[in-house]
Amino acid sequence: MRPGLISVKHVTWLVYLLVFVLIALGQTVAAQDSTPYAATITISGTINKPEARILDKSFKVASENGANLIILLINTPGGDLESTRKMVRTIYDSDIPVVTFVWPSGSQAASAGTFLLAAGNVAAMAPSTNVGAATPVSITGEDLPETIANKATQDAASFLRSIALNRDRNVEAYESTVTKGKAYSEIEAIEAGLINIISKSPQQLLEDLDGEIINIGETDIVLNTSGLVIQPIKPGFLDRFLKFLANPNIALILLGIGFVGILIEFINPGGFIPGITGVAAIVLALVALGNLPVNWMGLLLIGLAGALFYIEVQVSGLGIAGLIGGALFIVGAILLFGGFSQPDLNGPTFMANIWILIGVGIVIALILIILIKASIDARKNRYETDEKVTVGKIAKT
């Protein structure tokens, strides 16, 4: 055999070695997959549609990977009621025992978080945490009109009562978080029968849960948790991106970028970059708005404002169309995340930051001034050029 050449024998041994390594790795992964474990799923920030989707997907992953227990780590100021109902349904539909745990210390299960905490087979809290204050308000954080408030409160209270009854917890105490806006510390919560356990950490929680009897469907199960390994389930990139977009401030900024980009493209066609950027921003803004409680009438007013701005630039500074368009844009932006009394759970408001609104408005106004000036200059230059070309010249046919 000449030096530098690899024989068939060497290739064969290399293939055998590769197969052996793959088998060994496969056995290792299988051994890791078969290790009993508790899946932790984190709920943090505002309860909304993306958070509900993430929870549903995470539960499916835990079930497919053979998790023995799900620990739902809660730290939320609240959110919308529709998403809360979906998340409670996901917890109820789980064939794996679910422990809801307000953690770490300093966290809260306020508003919508109260419903999630109550829905677990076992409810736990860490030291220096709190739960409660689940009174419905409007999505802008304001008090609801009396009639709507009574209906929304009764609806939320009956929902929370049914959860507490199903999980055999203090119905009156949970109901008071809705009807009286009451909140409980972890010590008050365990004394009132809202929770089952106070634990310092997820690992300590597993030790405290060992031997507890819970009910899944119509079957009583004794938890064997002392030897479980904790494995977190994290959302994928797309879910994290959608969660990032589901923010009124981000949606408003994207609308502003899209608004300006498309306007520039209409006035000065052929550049492509402003138009493509504008369309992309509008698409992302619509995705964001689809995950937020919005008043679509506000979006219509913003669209009308865009049409008026276009007219304003074309007529070169008439003024009336621009002023009306500016007023419509401001009203539309305000109405986009409010302006109607949709009942919701007490918690974070879904209004855009007022300084974001002012900033977007100023940027659009400056760009409009620049475009109007450019349009006026272009018309003036065209008229001057036409006069120079035509005056005193003999026309040709």
Q: Spell out the SS3 assignment of 230-265.
A: EEECCCCHHHHHHHHHCCHHHHHHHHHHHHHHHHHH
The predicted structure's pLDDT at residue 65: 93
Q: Which helix (H) or strand (E) holds 221?
A: strand 219-222
Could you write out the DSSP letters of every residue in 150-196? HHHHHHHHHHHHHHHHHTT--HHHHHHHHHS--EEEHHHHHHHTS-S
Report the sign of the C-alpha dihedral through residues 323, 360, 354, 254, in that order: positive
- With tokens 């992302």, the residue in question is 284
CA distance 247 to 112: 18
The predicted structure's pLDDT at residue 27: 41
Specify the pTM: 0.78
- With tokens 């290739």, the residue in question is 11
Q: Which amino acid is at 55?
A: L
CA distance 387 to 374: 20
- Contact call for residues 187 and 205 (beta carbons, < 8 A): no
The predicted structure's pLDDT at residue 68: 95
The single-letter DSSP state of residue 65 is T
Q: What percent of the chain has pLDDT above 90? A: 47
The predicted structure's pLDDT at residue 136: 77
The predicted structure's pLDDT at residue 4: 47
- Residue 314 structure tokens: 């074309």
The string of pLDDT tens digits covering residues 7-47 is 545 545 565 566 555 545 444 333 345 689 999 999 998 89
The predicted structure's pLDDT at residue 131: 97
**Residue 237: CA count within 13 A, CB half-sphere:** 0
* Neighbour-count burial for 304-326, b at 16+ CB within 10 Å, e otherwise: ebbebbbebbeeeeeeebbebbb
The predicted structure's pLDDT at residue 343: 52
The predicted structure's pLDDT at residue 350: 56
- Contact call for residues 375 and 383 (beta carbons, < 8 A): no
The single-letter DSSP state of residue 66 is T
CA distance 244 to 294: 17
Positions of the chain with pLDDT under 70: 1-34, 137-148, 316-318, 338-351, 375-397
The predicted structure's pLDDT at residue 293: 78
